[in-house]
Structure 1
């Protein structure tokens, strides 16, 4: 589209500029592909209000880049841009941490841990780590590799060059000892 296309204007009966050729072309493109793009976006987002938001972004990009887009590939460009906008929206971190509710009453149902609960959890974790550190080395290594490093029994057996049954036995005995240590000798008594 050249500058001559943009400057060609339709005027209403009062002689006021109302719409450029470029705007007409965009309106025709939107009219032609809107339904297909909505269904494409809905397949990704599963929410009609989000679909409208994403399509607004797509239409804005269309308006800004219309002179750069090849008319023979406009459908492909629209589909690709819509898909990419949906993926960008889904990748957005704010969506993952936002609590979506239908009504304000639903917001009351959302549970946030209290400061007291958080502190108790931290103390329990501290007691657990202290208990693990007091275990004999052969049990401590098995427990740390299995629970903290999240290795499988087979991986631990290969790493320590021990039989897999030995690793399972050490995990079982280590858990038993850890339970006794935590119940009898807690660093911070939580009561």
Structure 2
């Protein structure tokens, strides 16, 4: 990503990084309040979410106990938000090289590529079409923000091990998730 930004002409990035999370021993949850990177020139990416089954053993000094607790974690939801103030144009200019130098055409091509990639990746999900369409609209229409929330359909959530080791089981994992998208 940094190489693409550099090749698009962005020589310097002024920005901030923020990480805020809290653990509730009583509820056995970790709430990711915010993990974000924001820049003045291109925009920002924000993540939030909640992890369940995060008991005290997760913080054990015994490596085996901590590892066992880590493998038992479940993800309830993750929300990713993108705020654009120039990133889309920079990426379109560095990735898409149409015959004419029309910025609108570059954005339209980028929008189609991103939408098709999202749909192909998420295809087994019932929400794949909506996600692809929202991403296409976000890019092609020059909208300023998009929020994508991925949530487990059942409690306590999706096992972290299933997500990390989905490999050939990705279609099954995607069927157990609900994906909501909001474009502004």
* TM surpasses 0.5: no
Larger radius of gyration: 1
Higher relative contact order (CA 8 A, sep 6+): 2
Give the TM-score, by structure 1 length: 0.21
